[in-house]
A and B are shown apart, each in its own frame.
Chain A
């Protein structure tokens, strides 16, 4: 079975600092990769996705992620965070041997951005 590991459980940054959240997965086959975000009091929503092609993908609100197949990694980055980026971030994998809507999530990283 596949698994997803997120490197940090809690991250605290000041506004304008750069962000990188690590994510590694274990699955030898083809995967679709995602970052989902849960803002305080809001529902879980898609931040960005990778299916194929350019390994550097861009999402909403200036976020980007890079898929490195050899490292089984899909790290999330943002050059300059804002207070409004305070949220919990989840890395997720959809493996080709699983269901269409089956996601394996990491434990999540709580990001707190101080103004």
Chain B
């Protein structure tokens, strides 16, 4: 079955702009979570959605937001971009049959560069 699909794979923005990233989870999975990966901070949890409801949020400023649609697809948005937002943004799919809490399937990521 198809894996987690993230679009776009690469994008370049300038400071002050905003960006929207999209994620399609594995069919049948009800949970989508987002992580930011940088060389300095590693993998950091952004937020988690389950059946369209945000269930948990990491320690990021309000410029980072997200949502999940009825078909489980998710988007995350970053407004007023800063240089430090340059990172690989990973979407993870979970909550499927025969999976346990924390057992996630990751997409290839969206690499954001802020100039």
| Residues of A that sit less than 8 Å from B by CB | 32, 34, 36, 42-46, 49, 51, 90, 92-94, 98-108
Q: In the assembled complex, which residues on chain A have CB atoms less than 8 Å from the CB atom of B2?
A: none
Measured CB to CB, the nearest residue on chain B to A49 is: B103
Of the A-B pairs whose beta carbons lie under 8 Å apart in the complex, a sample of 19, sorted by A's number, is: A32-B102, A43-B106, A43-B107, A49-B102, A94-B102, A99-B55, A100-B48, A100-B50, A100-B95, A101-B48, A101-B50, A101-B94, A101-B102, A101-B104, A102-B55, A103-B104, A105-B42, A108-B42, A108-B43
Q: How many A-B residue pairs have CB under 8 A?
A: 83
Shortest distance in angstroms between A25's beta carbon and chain B's nearest beta carbon?
A: 12
Cα-based distance from A50 to B50 in the complex (angstroms): 23
Check if A94 sits within 8 Å of B106, measured CB to CB.
no
Residues facing A in B86-112 (CB within 8 A) are 90, 92, 94-95, 100-109
Contact A49 B33 (CB under 8 A): no
* Contacting residues, chain A, for B43 (C-beta < 8 A): 44, 90, 92, 103, 105, 108
* Closest residue on chain A to residue B57 by CB atoms: A99
Tell yes or no: B31 within 8 A of A by CB: yes
In the complex the two chains form, is B48's CB within 8 Å of A99's CB? Answer: yes
Q: Contact at A102–B48, with CB atoms within 8 Å?
A: yes
Contact with A along B1-41 (1 / 0, CB 8 A): 00110000000000000000000000000011101000000
Interface residues on B, range: 20 to 34
Residues of A within 8 A of B48 (CB): 99-102
**Chain B residues, Cβ within 8 Å of A106:** 42
In the complex, whether B64 has a CB less than 8 A from a CB of chain A is no
Please determine whether B31 and A107 come into contact, CB atoms closer than 8 angstroms. Answer: no
- Give the chain B neighbours of A46 by CB distance below 8 A: 103-105
A103 to B104 CA separation, bound complex (whole angstroms): 9
Q: Which of B102, B103, B106, B107 has the most CB of A within 10 A?
A: B102
**With A44-B90, A105-B42 as contacts: A100 and B101 at CB distance below 8 Å:** yes
Contacting pair A32 B101 (CB below 8 A): yes
B79 interface hit (Cβ, 8 Å):
no
Given A43-B108, A43-B109; A101-B92 close (CB under 8 Å)? yes
Is the beta-carbon distance between A99 and B33 smaller than 8 angstroms? Answer: yes
